[in-house]
C-alpha cells in the first residue's frame, strides 16, 4: 500500500509538472496545487513515520539511514520502488523547475518530502533493525 501510494503521488506530480512545463498558462495552477498537497501530505507521513519509529525504538536500534533511506532494513525490491519513486520526484522537480525558472514550478522542489516520508513510513512499520542492547 505504501509503495503504491508513493508511485501514485509521483505519477500525479509528473503528469501535472510536465504539463505545466509545456503549457504553463493552462496547467501552472494545477501543478502548484498538486505540489503543495504532496508536500503537506509528505510532512504528515514523515511525522507519522517518526512517531512509529520512536515507538519501535524501545525494542530496536533505529538509524536515520535505515529508517528513511532503507539502508540494510528493507528487501531490495522495496528499496528499488520507494527510492526509485523518491529519485523520480527529485529528477522531475529539478527538470521542470529548470525548464521554467522563476515560476510556480519551483514549488515542485518540495515534493520529494512525500517520497521520503513514504520511505520512512515503510521503514518504521516493516524495517528490520537490530535488537536494542540491554547493557
Q: What is the CA radius of gyration of the chain?
A: 16
pTM of this structure? 0.93
Say which residues have a Cβ less than 8 Å from residue 88's Cβ, sequence separation at least 6. 10, 14, 115
Write out the three cell numbers for 69.
Answer: 533511506
* pLDDT tens for each residue of the chain, 135 residues long: 999 999 999 999 999 999 999 999 999 999 999 999 999 999 999 999 999 999 999 999 999 999 999 999 999 999 999 999 999 999 999 999 999 999 999 999 999 999 999 999 999 999 999 998 876
Tell me the C-alpha distance between 22 and 31, whole Å: 12
Say which residues have a Cβ less than 8 Å from residue 19's Cβ, sequence separation at least 6. 26, 27, 30, 31
Amino acid at each position: 500500500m505504501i509503495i503504491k501510494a508513493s508511485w501514485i503521488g509521483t505519477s500525479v506530480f509528473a503528469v501535472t509538472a510536465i504539463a505545466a512545463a509545456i503549457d504553463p498558462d493552462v496547467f501552472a495552477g494545477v501543478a502548484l496545487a498538486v505540489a503543495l498537497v504532496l508536500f503537506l501530505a509528505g510532512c504528515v507521513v514523515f511525522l507519522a513515520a517518526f512517531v512509529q519509529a520512536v515507538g519501535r525504538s524501545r525494542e530496536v536500534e533505529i538509524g536515520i539511514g535505515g529508517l528513511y533511506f532503507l539502508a540494510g532494513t528493507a528487501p531490495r525490491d522495496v528499496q528499488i520502488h520507494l527510492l526509485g519513486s523518491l529519485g523520480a520526484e527529485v529528477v522531475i522537480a529539478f527538470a521542470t523547475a529548470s525548464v521554467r525558472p522563476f515560476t510556480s514550478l519551483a514549488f515542485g522542489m518540495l515534493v520529494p518530502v512525500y517520497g521520503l516520508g513514504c520511505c520512512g513510513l515503510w521503514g518504521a512499520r516493516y524495517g528490520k533493525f537490530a535488537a536494542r542492547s540491554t547493557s
